[in-house]
Amino acid sequence: MRRRKLNLTNRRLARQLWGASVDSSLVLRLRELSEEFGLSISKGDLKLIDQNWYVTHVGLLRLARRRRCSGIEVEPVLQFCDADRSRFSFKATAYKSNPVHGFVGYGDASPSNISPLLHGAELRIAETRAVNRALRKLFGIGICSVEEIGSVERSTVAEPPARKMPANSSNGNHGHSSNGNGTRVRDRLCQIIRQHKLDAELVKSYAVDFCGTKTLREASREQVEKFVAHLAGQAASDRYSLLCQLNTYAQQKEGAA
C-alpha cells in the first residue's frame, strides 16, 4: 500500500517537473522503480535525463540503509590512477549480509569524462561512481546512476532565453563591475542560468543570501566569484535540489506580498 502511494506521488511529481516528456513507457518504468525499490523523486532518488530514468547517489544510499547493507569497502586501483593528469579509478565492494561474498563495482573519472564544471573533483567522483555501481549490482537496479554520466552532452534542443541579471554599476572592487574580471563573472553566471534553465531573479536572491549582504551590489568580487563557483557545482551535481532551494525564495516573496 505504501509503495503504491509512492508510485502515485512519483507520477504526479514527474508530470509537474517534466510535463509531456513523461510518456507511457516512462510511467511504467517509474512504477517498477517505485514499487520494487521505493525510490522517491521528491527525495532526489530519481532523475529524468534525455527520456531515461537515472538513480542518484543519494537514492542508492537510502536504499542501502533500508535494505540493511552491512558495509561498503572502497580502495583505489593504483595502476589506473595518475594524479598528475587527474585520472583516478576506484574499486568498491558492497555487502548485504555475507562478509565474504560482496558485489564489486569499478568507477573512474578524468577531465575527459566529467563535466568541465566539476574539474578538480575527479578523485571524489571516481569513488562515488564505484560505490554506485557496486550498490546497483547488490540490489539489481538495471538503470545507470546520474553520477556515472557526467560527460553526457546537453540536449541540443533550443532553450527559452533566460531573463538577464540586472546590470549594476559600481566601482572596480565589486564582482559585478565593468572591468574584465567582473564581465567574465557575469558571463559565466548568465551561462549557468541559461544552461540549467534557472530563474535569474531567484538566483539573484540566492546570491544575496549566500554573500550575506543586503543587496548584490554590496558584495565583493571575491564573494560573487565564490557564489558562481558554488552555483555551478550545485547545478551540475544536483539540479533538482537547487531548484527546490531557489523555490524557497519565490515562496518568501509570495509571503511578503
End-to-end CA distance of the chain: 40
Strand order in the sheet with 71-76: 71-76, 88-95, 103-109
pTM, to two decimals: 0.60
Task: Tell me the C-alpha distance between 246 and 257, whole Å.
Answer: 17
Please provide residue 38's backbone torsions phi and psi, each rounded to the nearest 5 degrees.
Answer: 70, 30
- 184-235 pLDDT per residue, tens: 888 888 889 888 888 888 899 888 888 888 888 888 888 888 888 888 888 8
- Mean pLDDT in each 10-residue stretch from start to end of the chain (257 residues)? 89 89 92 95 91 94 93 95 95 85 93 85 94 95 89 39 44 43 79 87 89 87 88 79 77 59
Q: What pLDDT sits at residue 110?
A: 93
- Please give the distance of CA 155 from its chain centroid, rounded to a whole number: 16
